[in-house]
Amino acid sequence: MPSIPEFVTQRDVPDLIRERLGIKVALSTIHKKFSPRIGEGPAPVGFWSGRPYYRPDDILEWARGRMTPTRNGAA
C-alpha cells in the first residue's frame, strides 16, 4: 500500500498493520476478530455493496490496543 486510502476493507487490514506497525497478522484472524459474532474489531464506518469499510486510523489504534506488555517480565 504506497498511500493510505481514506477507507479500507478487511482484506487490506493485514498489509496496513504490517506496513505501519511491523506486526504480522493473517487475514483469517482479521475476519474472525471483526466478525459480528466475535465483535473484537473496530466498528465499520459504513458499508458498500454489503462490504464493511474502516478508517485506517481506527484499525491502527485497534491493533496497538491489542498489544500487551512482555510476559513474565521477560524483555
Q: Beta partners for 54?
A: 8
Name the residue with cell 493485514. Answer: 14
Beta-sheet strands, E only, within the chain: 46-48, 51-53
75 located within any domain: no
29 located within any domain: yes
pLDDT over threshold 60, residue 1: no
Report pLDDT for 67: 85
Q: Which residues contact 15 (CB under 8 A, 6 or more apart)?
A: 1
CB 8 within 8 A of CB 17: no
Name the residue with cell 489504534. Answer: 61
70 located within any domain: no
Q: Which residues contact 55 (CB under 8 A, 6 or more apart)?
A: 6, 7, 8, 42, 45
User: Per residue in 10-68, pLDDT tens?
Assistant: 999 999 999 999 999 999 999 999 998 998 999 999 999 999 999 999 999 999 998 88
Q: Report how many domains make up the chain.
A: 1
